[in-house]
Amino acid sequence: MKILFVITGNGHGRGGHVNSLDHISRAVAQKADIKIVSIGLTESPVLKENPYYFGVFKFKWFSYFTLQKKFKELFKTFNPDVIHCFDGSSALLLMALPGLFSKKVIYTKCGGPNERKSIAQITGDIVLFSQENYDSYRSNNRFKYSDIHLIPNRVLKVDVFPEDEREVIKDANFFNFVRIARISKAYENSIKQAIELTSRISSPGKKVKLYIIGVIQDEEIFNGLKEFAETKKIEVEFVTNHLTNKASRMLYLADAVIGTGRGVMEAMTLGIPTFVPVNGRNLPELLTSVNFHGFLSTNFSPRGTSLRRDEIEIVNEANNLVNNKKYYKKACDFSLNIANKEFVFNEEVILNYLSIYRNVMKKENKLYILKNILPFIYYLNVFRRVQNRLK
């Protein structure tokens, strides 16, 4: 079985969807012959280190059909049974190429908010990571003929930097919180929640520190966060250099994590107690057996909501984590056990993907050209706007 993974690339190439593709492709490669292609103007530093990465097919939005020649050249040496796209926009672009009409194309929506129903991309099979997206797609009449699969498992256990490769050294005299996020408007509030939580810790026997690890996408936001941290009078270290390319490998720094999306999952696979941001609140919440599945349903995104109203209770949990060894051990055990059950990419999940591919190969190929005209125009315009910003 030959599977070609495809993803768009017009940005920094270090986001959660890229890392999900990286992990899932490595796992599927244990049972299938695979290659990975990126389409767009930029190349992901994450994918460049994947042994199955073929390369980037660069194109400008106005010369979109030049992609066809590049794929047909690839097919001379690697003719895939299924093309698995890791965003709906790449699936749309490929399905609209006449030279690829005979190819079976599916895609994964890697979390995020629900698509507007009128521009949601249609393929015969769609893989979703979150219950939120799954419920939305199942209720959308556009997908009544599509097979929709909910597979949240997408993480391999993180290989943190070994001691002799660590450029940032963990100080054992501190209890260290870590927040990994791009420094941008989208994550400004969740980073502020991490700073606020750290400032509320009262630990007579141990100092507390927060590491914020992420590429700077907005200098104004970055400066504002530094000023906010200074007003809270806490120890904060920003790591914004080349190490952001491998941010998850820096989780050796973390005694606890404040995370979103797959960052939560990566931390929990290492048995690290993990907090998640809460929509409309000032503080993130510690994941426990009580609130876990509620936050999981929205993919641990900043859109997550909580029934809890009492900030004092949240602060008490955080202080217990820092000051009570038994409480900390219990939180570590919870993280590890729930991650192995819910997130880790195991043999069963690999077989699930292979089953989907086999079923797709048996199906009659449907292009859904008419239903995808509006989404195609919309996403080609998105490509135009994004690529113009890269000039």
Q: Where are the domains of the chain?
A: 2-154+345-389, 163-342
If one compares 141 and 272, the residue with the highest pLDDT of the two is 272
- Supply the CATH classification number for the domain 163-342: 3.40.50.2000
Q: What is the pLDDT of residue 112?
A: 81
Global pTM reads: 0.83
Predicted confidence band at 391 (pLDDT cuts at 50, 70, 90)? low
Residues 282-305 pLDDT 10s: 899 999 999 998 898 888 888 888
Kindly report, residue by residue over 190-243, the tens digit of the pLDDT: 999 999 999 999 877 789 999 999 999 999 999 999 999 999 989 999 999 999
Q: How confident is the model at residue 317 (pLDDT cuts 50, 70, 90)?
A: very high
Radius of gyration of the chain, Cα coordinates, nearest whole angstrom = 22
Considering the chain, what percentage of its residues have pLDDT values greater than 90? 61
**Superfamily of the domain at 2-154+345-389:** Glycogen Phosphorylase B; (3.40.50.2000)
Q: What is the mean pLDDT of residues 13-22?
A: 84
Indicate if 163-342 has the same CATH topology as 2-154+345-389.
Answer: yes
Mean pLDDT for 316-333 is 95
The pLDDT, as a whole number, for residue 309 is 65
Q: What is the pLDDT of residue 226?
A: 95
Mean per-residue pLDDT for 32-42? 94
**Given this model, what pLDDT does residue 209 score?**
95
> Alpha-carbon distance 213 to 267, whole Å?
14
Residue 14 has pLDDT above 80, yes or no: no
Q: What pLDDT does residue 75 have?
A: 96
User: What values do phi and psi take at 125, rounded to 5?
Assistant: -135, 140
Q: Taking 90 as the threshold, does the pLDDT of residue 116 lie above it? A: no
User: What is the pLDDT, as a whole number, of residue 38?
Assistant: 95
Return d(Cα 236, Cα 216) in angstroms, integer. 16
Amino acid code (one letter) for 163 = E
DSSP lists the bridge partners of residue 64 as: none
Say whether pLDDT at 367 is over 80: no
For 18-35, write each residue's pLDDT tens digit. 989 999 999 999 999 999
pLDDT at 306 over 90: no
For the chain, the average pLDDT equals: 90
Helices (H), 205-310: 219-232, 261-269, 292-296
**Minimum mean pLDDT range among 215-219, 245-249, 307-311:** 307-311
If pLDDT is split at 50, 70 and 90, which confidence band does 62 have? confident
pLDDT exceeds 90 at position 152:
no
Cα distances (angstroms) measured from residue 232 to each of 175, 201, 202, 204? 17, 11, 13, 18
> Which H or E element spans position 193?
helix 185-199
Q: Report pLDDT for 211.
A: 97
pLDDT of 114 strictly over 90:
no
Cα separation, 292 vs 32, in Å, equals: 33
